[in-house]
Amino acid sequence: MIIAELIFWLIIFGLSAVVHEYCHAWMANYLGDPTAKHAGRLTLNPIAHVDLFGTLMLPIIMFFLSGGSFLFAYAKPVPFNPGNFRDWTWDPVKVALAGPGANISVAVIFGLLVRYLPSTDFTGLLSFIVYANVLLAVFNSLPIPPLDGSKLLFAILPGSLDHVRDALERYGMIVLLVFILFAFRLVVPVVLAIFKLITGIPIF
Residues annotated as catalytic (active site), given as ranges: 21
Angle CA 124–129–133, to nearest 5: 145
Answer positive or negative: Cα dihedral of 113, 119, 125, 131.
positive
Cβ 98 vs Cβ 148: under 8 Å = no
Cβ 198 vs Cβ 204: under 8 Å = no
Alpha helices in the chain (DSSP H): 2-30, 35-38, 58-65, 91-116, 121-140, 149-156, 162-182, 188-199
DSSP state of 84: G
DSSP state of 45: -
Backbone angles phi, psi at 86, to 5 degrees: -80, -40
DSSP state of 55: I
Name residues whose C-beta falls within 8 Å of residue 8's C-beta, 6 or more positions apart in sequence.
Answer: 128
- Cis amide bond preceding 34, omega within 30: no
